[in-house]
Amino acid sequence: MLAAHLDPLAASIFSLITIASMLLSFVMLGSRWLKDYMYAFGIQSWLIALLSALVGYYGHYPELYLIAILTVLFRGLLLPYLVLRILRRLHVGRELHLVLQPSTSLIVGAICVIFSLVLAFRISTAIGFPENIVVLALTVMFTMKLVGFLILSIRHEAVSHILGLMLLENGIFLGSQILIPGMPILIELVVLFDLLVAVACFGVLIRYLMARVGSTSSLELKRLIG
């Protein structure tokens, strides 16, 4: 495994990038402005692209350079652009109805991190790889998963849901770069695939807007019950 024998400089750069990505998911969690989510998501995608390029360099996986480029193109540029366009058309600046105040949700997010850390520790000791970078990768992978689900459940705007979904996948993406860099074809396809998901979401969203102009809050989605 790459992570088992990594030189210290590379290990610390990897750690820095993973921690920075995790912090960016907290930016998404702590803000109520949709534009902030979008910028945080964009920067996170750039960081992940950087990480895949570095993993490709240190681990000698030339395919990962291609993946880095695809990540930047699709997740770093195209998706934020699409989201911005939608935001401009919708005239929704921020979440109006908050289930949890940003400060409270940050605390819940912190609990998620602690939980993920404990989980990651147990897994990595069970496997016999107690290296810092493995623990860190697992922690960030689980944290971003939990934070993504948290965003999906406490936010109501359609755009937040899309970004929450993308955050779920960013987490897996980031973790798998470090843990299993030799899984290239799958990752490649997944990158392209997420874009399709996003485009499909936007398609549905736009139809939804055509059907009921005005609100894109999931609070309005309450016709189908029981």
Partner 1 sequence: MITLCFTVVLIAPLIAVAGALLICRPRFAEYLNLLASIVVFLAAASLPFIVHTPLFFWHNYLFLDALGGWVALCTAVVYLLASVYAVGYMRLLASDKHLPGFYALFAGFAWTMLLAAFVNNIGVFWIAIELTTLVSTFLVGFERAAESIEAAWKYIIVVSAGITLALLGTVLLYWGGSLILGPSYDMTWQTLRDVAPHMNPVLLKLGFLLVLVGYGTKVGLAPMHTWLPDAHSEGPAPVSAMLSGALLNTAMLGIVRFLAVTDAAGIGWLPRTALVVLGILSVLIGALFIVRQEGVKRLMAYSSVEHMGILALGFGFGGVLGIAGALYHMLNHSLNKSLMFFGAGNVMRRYGTKEMLAIRRVLHEFPVSGLLWLAGAVAITGAPPFGLFLSEFSILRAGFSGPNLWAAIVMLVLLIVIFIGFLRHFGAMYFGRQPESAPKGTIISAWCVLPMWLALIPLLVLGLWWPDGLMQIFMNIAHGLMGGTS
User: Rounded to an integer, what distance in angstroms lies between the CA atom of residue 196 and that of residue 208?
Assistant: 18
Q: Is 161 in the site for partner 1 (CB under 8 A)?
A: yes
Q: Is 168 in the site for partner 1 (CB under 8 A)?
A: yes
Which residue of 123, 131, 215, 217 would you call a contact of partner 1, by CB under 8 A? 123
Pick 46 or 129: Cβ nearer partner 1: 129
Query: How many beta carbons lie within 10 A of that of residue 160, not counting itself?
Result: 25
Q: Please say whether the beta carbons of 197 and 189 come within 8 A.
A: no
Q: Is 92 in the site for partner 1 (CB under 8 A)?
A: no
**Can you read off the two tokens belonging to residue 18?**
């993973």
Pick 141 or 154: Cβ nearer partner 1: 141
User: Rounded to an integer, what distance in angstroms lies between the CA atom of residue 176 and that of residue 85?
Assistant: 31
User: Rounded to an integer, what distance in angstroms lies between the CA atom of residue 207 and that of residue 100?
Assistant: 29
Q: Is 118 in the site for partner 1 (CB under 8 A)?
A: no
Greatest Cα pair distance in the chain: 57
Pick 89 or 212: Cβ nearer partner 1: 212
Name which of residues 1 to 60 contact partner 1 (CB under 8 A).
1-2
- Name the phi and psi angles at 181, rounded to 5: -65, -15
Sites of contact with partner 1 (CB under 8 A): 1-2, 122-123, 126-127, 129, 141, 145, 148-149, 152, 158, 161, 164-165, 168-169, 172, 175-176, 179-186, 189-190, 193, 196-197, 200-201, 203-205, 207-208, 210-212, 218, 221, 223-224, 226
